[in-house]
Amino acid sequence: MGELGGASQRWMIGWRNAQLRAAAGNASMVGVEVREIKWLPPPQGWVKINTDGAVKMTNGYAGAVVRDHHEDWLAGCSRNIG
């Protein structure tokens, strides 16, 4: 992952941890831990397909990306599903 991607992940983790500290008195937040999760490439000769989706009110969106073991983008798509 490039420098920008790593920086944005660190910022998001810091932001989430600040939210958790601010909500420390909230019993529903006790024991919550935030940690960085790194994408790992597939074994050589394989590809990895990652998917995601989001819904807001009556709108839905889905997307997918295909990468090889070099972390190179091979294909991707996104679609409004609702």
Number of H helices and E strands in the chain, helices first, is 1, 3
> How far, in Å, CA of 55 to CA of 79, rounded?
12
Q: Considering the chain, what is the average pLDDT of its residues? A: 82
pLDDT of residue 28: 62
**Residue extents of the structural domains in the chain:** 1-38, 41-82
> Going by C-beta distance under 8 Å and a sequence separation of 6 or more, which residues neighbour residue 66?
47, 48, 49, 73, 74, 75, 76
Amino acid 36 reads: E
Percent of the chain with pLDDT over 90: 41
Residue 56: the pLDDT is: 86
In the numeric block, the tokens 């999760």 are attached to: 37
